[in-house]
């Protein structure tokens, strides 16, 4: 299903900074999951982006094909860092996440087979408005070695950038 209502969608490729001249934006067409509009707590909040031009495969991160257990998770984004004033960071922001139990996620009204519930134990922040559509990834070793695979897609967060957030589980849609 193609998305209607969007004037344009672009993907930023190449760097972690808005100011880097090597960063470029590529036009993309979103293709939504067929059940995207079913009202089930954003459980089908997933789309594929068809890029208007090729991207170097070295810039791509593979999708996690299986459910991860006790893996170190992180996410990054350029969403607002101040909810009172719309203030966007100039550099990609990263935060470590911890997956909560499936039972706790289910008790919160979500669907653990389709969704990942996370919290952060860091003093400040979590995912923020504007981060939606970004990736939740498994880390191999340290943050500096980079992501191992994409585990989820940021779906929603607390309005004030609080510690809890909800993500679409990508491996469910790979089967």
- Pick from 59-68, 77-86, 97-106: least confident: 77-86
pLDDT of residue 52: 93
Give CA–CA dist 167/59, Å, rounded: 22
pLDDT at 92 over 70: yes
pLDDT at 8 over 50: yes
24-76: pLDDT as tens digits:
888 988 888 777 766 555 667 888 888 899 988 877 788 888 877 767 788 88
- Using a pLDDT cut of 70, give the percent of the chain over it: 75
Q: Which residue has the higher pLDDT, 111 or 16?
A: 111
Q: What are phi and psi of 62, to 5 degrees?
A: -65, 160
Tell me the domains of the chain and their CATH numbers. 9-59 (no CATH), 73-174 (2.40.10.10)
Eight-state DSSP code of residue 91: B
**Which residues have a Cβ under 8 Å from the Cβ of 164 and sit 6 or more positions away?**
117, 118, 119, 126, 157, 158
Q: Please, which pLDDT band fits residue 144 given cuts at 50, 70 and 90? A: very low
CA neighbor of 98 nearest in space, from 73, 69, 68, 135 = 73
Give CA–CA dist 64/12, Å, rounded: 22
Q: Give the three-class secondary structure for 115.
A: strand
């Amino acid at each position: 299903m193609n998305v209607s209502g969007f004037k344009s969608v672009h993907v930023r490729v190449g760097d972690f900074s808005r100011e880097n001249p090597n960063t470029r934006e590529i036009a993309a067409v979103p293709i939504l999951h067929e059940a995207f509009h079913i009202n089930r707590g954003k459980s089908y909040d997933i789309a594929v982006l068809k890029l208007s031009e090729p991207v170097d495969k070295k810039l791509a991160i593979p999708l996690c094909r299986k459910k991860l257990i006790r893996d170190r998770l992180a996410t990054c984004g350029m969403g607002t860092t101040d909810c009172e004033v719309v203030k966007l960071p100039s550099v990609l922001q990263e935060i470590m996440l911890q997956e909560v139990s499936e039972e706790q996620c289910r008790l919160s009204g979500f669907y653990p087979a389709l969704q990942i519930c996370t919290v952060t134990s860091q003093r400040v922040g979590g995912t923020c408005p504007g981060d939606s559509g970004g990736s939740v990834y498994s880390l191999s070793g340290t943050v500096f070695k980079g992501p191992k695979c994409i585990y989820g897609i940021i779906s929603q967060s607390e309005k004030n950038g609080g510690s809890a957030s909800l993500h679409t589980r990508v491996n469910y849609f790979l089967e």
